[in-house]
Amino acid sequence: MSNSLEGGTEETAVDVVIVGAGFAGLTAAERLVNMGVSVLVVEGRDRVGGRAFSGEVAGVKVDLGATWVARRHTAIRDLASRLGCTTTSQFDEGHNVLWMDGQRSTYTGTFPAVSPEAVEDLARIQMAVAELTSTINVDSAWESPDAGQLDAISFGEWLDQQQATTSTRALMTILTKVQWGCSPGDVSLLHALRYIRAAGGVEHMLSVEGGQQEERITETTQEIAVRLAERLGDRVVVGAPVRRITQDDSGVTVSTDSKVINAKYAIVTAAPSHRADIDFEPALPDKAEGLAKTWRLGTLSKAFVAYEKPFWRSSGLSGEALTDTGTVFITFDVSPDDNGPGVLMAFCDPRVFDGFNPADRRRRVIDQLVELYGAQASAPIDYVDHCWGPASEPFAPGGPNPAVAPYASVSYGSALTEPHGRIHWAGVETAGEWAGTMNGAVLTGQQTAERVAQRLGKRADTGAQ
Ligand SMILES: Cc1cc2nc3c(=O)[nH]c(=O)nc-3n(C[C@H](O)[C@H](O)[C@H](O)COP(=O)(O)OP(=O)(O)OC[C@H]3O[C@@H](n4cnc5c(N)ncnc54)[C@H](O)[C@@H]3O)c2cc1C
Model confidence over 352-398: pLDDT tens digits?
999 999 999 999 999 999 999 999 999 999 999 999 999 889 999 99
Segment 435-463 shows an average pLDDT of 91
Among 13, 3, 19, 10, smallest CA distance to 245 is for 19
Instruction: Tell me what percent of the chain is helix, strand and coil, each rounded to the nearest 5.
Output: 40, 25, 40
Cβ within 8 Å of residue 422, ≥6 positions away: 247, 251, 252, 264, 265, 266
Ligand 1 centroid–CA 311 distance in Å is 33
Strands (E), 163-268: 215-217, 236-238, 244-248, 251-255, 259-263, 265-268
Q: How confident is the model at residue 114 (pLDDT cuts 50, 70, 90)?
A: confident
pLDDT value of position 5 = 45
**From CA 334, how far away is CA 117, in angstroms rounded?**
33
Helices (H), 301-384: 311-314, 358-373
CA distances from 283 to 153, 181, 261, 336 (A): 31, 30, 19, 50
CA distances from 445 to 31, 201, 236, 422, 448 (A): 8, 24, 15, 16, 5
311 by DSSP, 3-state: which? helix
Closest protein CA for atom 5 of ligand 1: 66
**From CA 224, how far away is CA 80, in angstroms rounded?**
6
pLDDT value of position 109 = 87
Predicted confidence (pLDDT) per residue in 210-256, tens digit = 999 999 999 999 999 999 999 999 999 999 999 999 999 999 999 99
Nearest atom within ligand 1 for CA of residue 42 = 43
Ligand 1 centroid–CA 249 distance in Å is 31
pLDDT value of position 47 = 98
300: Cβ below 6 Å to ligand 1? Answer: yes
256: Cβ below 6 Å to ligand 1? Answer: no
**From CA 52, how far away is CA 372, in angstroms rounded?**
28
220: Cβ below 6 Å to ligand 1? Answer: no
Segment 72-99 shows an average pLDDT of 97
pLDDT value of position 10 = 86
Closest protein CA for atom 4 of ligand 1: 66
Predicted confidence (pLDDT) per residue in 262-295, tens digit = 999 999 999 999 999 999 999 999 999 999 999 9
Helix axes 221-232, 74-82, angle to 10 degrees: 60
**From CA 133, how far away is CA 144, in angstroms rounded?**
10
Number of residues in the chain: 465
CA distances from 197 to 132, 214, 224, 351, 439 (A): 9, 18, 26, 28, 15
Closest protein CA for atom 1 of ligand 1: 65
CB atoms within 10 A of CB 287: 15
Segment 105-123 shows an average pLDDT of 90
Ligand 1 centroid–CA 51 distance in Å is 3
Q: Which domains does the chain have, with CATH numbers?
A: 2-50+221-284+420-455 (3.50.50.60), 114-206 (1.10.405.10)
Indicate the pairing of strand 244-248 with strand 251-255. Answer: antiparallel
Q: Which residues pair with 297 in a beta bridge?
A: 402
What is the strand order of the sheet 215-217 is part of? Answer: 68-69, 215-217, 87-89
Ligand 1 centroid–CA 398 distance in Å is 9
Q: How confident is the model at residue 113 (pLDDT cuts 50, 70, 90)?
A: confident
34 close to 28: Cβ distance less than 8 angstroms: no
Give me the sign of the Cα torsion angle 166, 300, 390, 380.
Answer: positive
Ligand 1 centroid–CA 50 distance in Å is 4
Would you say residue 50 has pLDDT above 50?
Answer: yes
Segment 407-430 shows an average pLDDT of 98
DSSP summary character for residue 7: S
Nearest atom within ligand 1 for CA of residue 444 = 26
22: Cβ below 6 Å to ligand 1? Answer: yes
pLDDT value of position 464 = 44
Ligand 1 centroid–CA 314 distance in Å is 36
Closest protein CA for atom 34 of ligand 1: 20
Would you say residue 7 has pLDDT above 60?
Answer: no
Segment 114-128 shows an average pLDDT of 93
157: Cβ below 6 Å to ligand 1? Answer: no
